[in-house]
Amino acid sequence: MARILIVDDSPSQLLGIKRIVEKLGHEALTAEDGAAGVDMARREKPDLILMDVVMPNLNGFQATRTINKDTETAHIPVVLVTTKDQDTDRVWGLRQGAKAYVTKPVKEDELSATLGQLLPA
């Protein structure tokens, strides 16, 4: 079982993703914007982060870049989970340090496969 931090400003998205994560047998932590997500990543050191992109305070691209530049959190894989489905968004997200990119609405099988690739067995 992994500890997964879900960062999303939409309560309904947060709940939906949390349900999938828990159904897959993982512990879910949550944060409601990018700044809170960065703080929680530093404090809790989750095994993986699922990060929305469009959020107030600090967007997901900025938060991912911050997490990847911090020596305390750089080892934590970040998966961007977003409605932004353009190739340029995907390329930009991966350039910020994201390890994967999943578009919403989140499909359980796609999220499961992504977690399987990024979490230690």
Confidence (pLDDT) at 48: 98
Note the pLDDT tens digit of each residue in 76-104.
999 999 999 999 999 999 999 999 999 99
Are the CB atoms for 31 and 7 separated by under 8 Å? yes
- pLDDT reading at 121 higher than 80: no
CATH code at position 112: 3.40.50.2300
pTM: 0.97
DSSP readout, 30-93?
A: EESSHHHHHHHHHHH--SEEEE-SS-SSS-HHHHHHHHHHSTTTTTS-EEEEES---HHHHHHH
pLDDT one-digit tens code per residue, 33-91: 999 999 999 999 999 999 999 999 899 999 999 999 999 999 999 999 999 999 999 99
Q: Which domain holds residue 100?
A: 3-118
Contacts of 91 (CB under 8 A, 6+ apart): none
CA distances from residue 50 to 15, 18 in whole angstroms, order as listed: 13, 10
Q: How many separate domains does the chain show?
A: 1
